[in-house]
Amino acid sequence: MDILFNLFILFLTFIYVLATILIPVQLKKRDKITKFQARKAVHLLAGLAVLTTPYYTSPWWAVILAGSMTLLTLLSSKKSSVKQLKDLYDSIGEEEEEKVGYLQGPFHYSLSITILITIFAIIAPDQMYFPIAGIMLMIISDTLASVIGKKYGKRKIKIPWVKTTRSLEGSLAFFISGFLLCLLAFTILGVTNPINQNHLTLEIALIYSLITSALATIVELISPSTWDDLTVPIATVVIVFFLTLI
């Protein structure tokens, strides 16, 4: 019964993820939305599938899903012989990705989810609120910071090795939204603990949320744009988790 239950969740989640990819791609092909909007829609919606992780009887099912998406993004290129993969690249690929020839940003995005879920499946399956908090930062806060920064960013922050100019407004949006998202993750999965997760007090959840969002903001600020989907969630979660052990 456990296998059937896990397969059912996996099947529904696959359908959801494919829909969050195919719908923006089709809208971009019909010029209903821009490439920037299509990419951000995929970035924002597809990763939310990670919220199903605690509901599997084993987190390895979530690793299978994340690994599949990692392979899909790696194979998506302008030279792909599979039309759907080429369409995906054409619809959300960025200029910086022309040199590498594949969807480097989305690949890093999927790879970071796969790495984090795999690490915690091995060392701490009862503390999945750590990787989920970090992934939510990458999914929502990074998208929000990009949108706010482009539209309202007036105070520029220039860091020599970062190819994309950051803004104070975008970084503030990242921090504030990140804190709220982390608090949500730590509270739902740790404090109220509806699933088999290690219990947290509200005070600890608040401290974890503040440290995680602040650290993630700093990492995002100093990370090159093509690498922040990899550096922000992994560096943040690993550092915060080891701080809790100390």
Beta bridge partners of 156: 167
Whether the model pTM is above 0.85: yes
- Tokens for 19, please give them: 């829909």
pLDDT of amino acid 161 = 65
Cα torsion at 234, 11, 69, 77 (round to 10°)? Answer: -160
- Report whether pLDDT(172) > 70: yes
- Give SS3 for 199: coil
State what percent of residues in the chain have pLDDT above 90: 52
Largest CA distance in the chain: 56
Q: How far apart are CA 176 and CA 184, in angstroms?
A: 13
156-157/166-167 β-pairing: antiparallel
Mean pLDDT, residues 96-101 taken together: 81
Q: How far apart are CA 36 and CA 38, in angstroms?
A: 6
**Other CB atoms within 10 A of residue 67 CB:** 16
Backbone angles phi, psi at 227, to 5 degrees: -115, -10
Q: How far apart are CA 141 and CA 115, in angstroms?
A: 20
Q: How far apart are CA 194 and CA 95, in angstroms?
A: 44
Q: Which of 107, 83, 84, 87 is nearest to 96 (CA)?
A: 107
Mean pLDDT, residues 28-54 taken together: 90
